[in-house]
Structure 1
């Protein structure tokens, strides 16, 4: 029986992997789920497996945090031994985290076929570690599974063999749609202690929080946002120090909370008047939920969320005025959604993966 090995490592990977794991249960394959431990505390990883019904990982490499090079090297070393021991027929990687590119490098060097779920996304910003991970992973991939038409175009412009490219839709949206009825905005509001309009923020990119001048500008912009509505920002304790030192919390309507589980966070987002983010996945989730998303970055690798969604790029200078406009407009009643973001991407991906290893659906011989 063919062995399909899935490599996950960080919070964004888990809702992408869940529909693929489920889709492949219909085929005559053995599956091995590997968690590298890049995100290793409960709210960043374990709770996702429980809430999304993902089987407990068969292998947890426990690499932990660290500098990009050191972390990638640890994952590569551990995966090389695992691939040698188990010799999978196919490796599946997700997204653009360090675990993704580590698995791509090891599989490629060992001659193991591998597939990249969420291939072809480009920000064209080489200061982003994720952009480097995307480029390297896609260059080496045997199967490139894309979420949007622009991703197909990027791969074509890079000279990728079109036979390797498959437009499948977005498996993370499968997870969102499957669990949408469990997103309890009222419970999330009560848990955090929110009344009236509120805005959710997720901010962690180096371009916003590493340089002291950038942090000072961010604090001023977010305080101007908090002048208009309550702001709640889930933030890991290890990431708070720099923002606290810059006075981020010195506003009565600024609320910092610990990271939330998937269901709790999505409940919070669903009830928000707007989201301010520099995250990739949040741009996609708000696009489906119809929540205005203000992406505090000069670029996005997910432009489909702007052309077919609720997202817009903003600067620190323009953020307060954009928030004012969003609050004045009120909740959206109609918005576009991207093609094939329909809840069936996992099934399409599973069909392609099964075909690549030459297996049929269970019961079909």
Structure 2
């Protein structure tokens, strides 16, 4: 069995690392399985890409399409043109895509048009918000996928409602959590820890990159000011996404307890998350990591494609109105935040299940 594994952007790297490790274990058992790792180059910044390969032990890609930059349409087109050539020159029995980034959708389309089967890892999740590019990527990918590997029963239900047969849905858990659980012992203290004199449970971590939160200067300034106002003067560590940095440069916001820093590597960022009092974010993946690590999380979005992090985990969906932060922060400081628990099959063995299913399917 010949597999082509696609990675394109930061959220993908944590998801493919355990899959590649699981493939290698099958090879060691004598199973006839091989893979080709294709990096689309969607994220080309070192902190957003190469550091993750280094720290997570991901081997050098067999091919880098170098399709970063440009508008979403330009990037989609570049990935499709270059991946078509790649797949025609290196045929596969199955193309594995993960998550919901541009690369996921673009490579799925190319594979299907070349009559190659597609497996989607993290299939079926939905925010029902079509203003999010990721939601469109999910819907398009799932519309043409052959095998669906899911993280929750909610995702399974979404797929069934779209007419996907049960024998193509495989509830395996969350490969992102495979990586998290494996790497917790390797987390690294970032330099900001000593520079800001941080103490466990005595600081906040924030990440912002969604258009609704960062595209408008005044709205972004208001949001950050509201976080500062309700922080009880605890340090606020803000690794700034490149998208957000462009807007922040025009805002000029400052506060003694606000530390705006460069993006961190995976091991450094999750060290901060593990010991934070809480995380304030508009990311989806971070809400999964905070749930497993038991860290309070406030999500500044109107919807989430990972509702289990709210119903089972430590996450709360606050919406995009900054005023929603005050009562949540008050609840946090009163010690009233929910404890949460870990969703089913988020146990570090998801990738092993995926590869076992593939071996069976292609036997």
User: Structure 2: where are the runs of 5+ without partners?
Assistant: none
* Contact 2:231 2:329 (C-alpha < 8 Å) held by counterparts: no
- TM-score, normalisation: structure 1: 0.93
Match of 2:333 among 327, 330, 333: 327
- Determine the structure 1 residue equivalent to 2:239: 234
Change in 2 beyond 3 A, CA 1:324/1:103:
same
Which piece of structure 1 moves more, 316-325 or 238-247?
Answer: 238-247
C-alpha displacement of 1:57: 1.0
- TM-score, normalisation: structure 2: 0.93
- Computed over aligned residues only, the root mean square deviation of the Cα atoms, in angstroms, reads 1.8
Whole-angstrom distance in 1 between the partners of 2:43 and 2:185: 27
C-alpha displacement of 1:225: 3.5
- Determine the structure 1 residue equivalent to 2:88: 84
Whole-angstrom distance in 1 between the partners of 2:336 and 2:46: 35
- Determine the structure 1 residue equivalent to 2:357: 352
Whole-angstrom distance in 1 between the partners of 2:48 and 2:297: 22
Whole-angstrom distance in 1 between the partners of 2:192 and 2:271: 6
Whole-angstrom distance in 1 between the partners of 2:242 and 2:230: 22
Change in 2 beyond 3 A, CA 1:159/1:290:
same
- Determine the structure 1 residue equivalent to 2:272: 268
Is residue 102 of structure 1 aligned with residue 101 of structure 2?
no
Secondary structure in 1 matching 2:79: helix
- Determine the structure 2 residue equivalent to 1:361: none
- Determine the structure 1 residue equivalent to 2:117: 113
Is residue 21 of structure 1 aligned with residue 20 of structure 2?
yes
Match of 2:224 among 219, 228, 241: 219
User: Structure 1: where are the runs of 5+ without partners?
Assistant: 359-365
Is residue 210 of structure 1 aligned with residue 215 of structure 2?
yes
Match of 2:157 among 149, 153, 177: 153
Change in 2 beyond 3 A, CA 1:339/1:238:
closer
Report 1 or 2 for greater relative contact order, CA contacts < 8 Å, sequence distance ≥ 6. Answer: 1
Secondary structure in 1 matching 2:86: helix
Whole-angstrom distance in 2 between the partners of 1:257 and 1:187: 10
User: How many residue pairs were aligned?
Assistant: 355
* Contact 2:11 2:285 (C-alpha < 8 Å) held by counterparts: yes
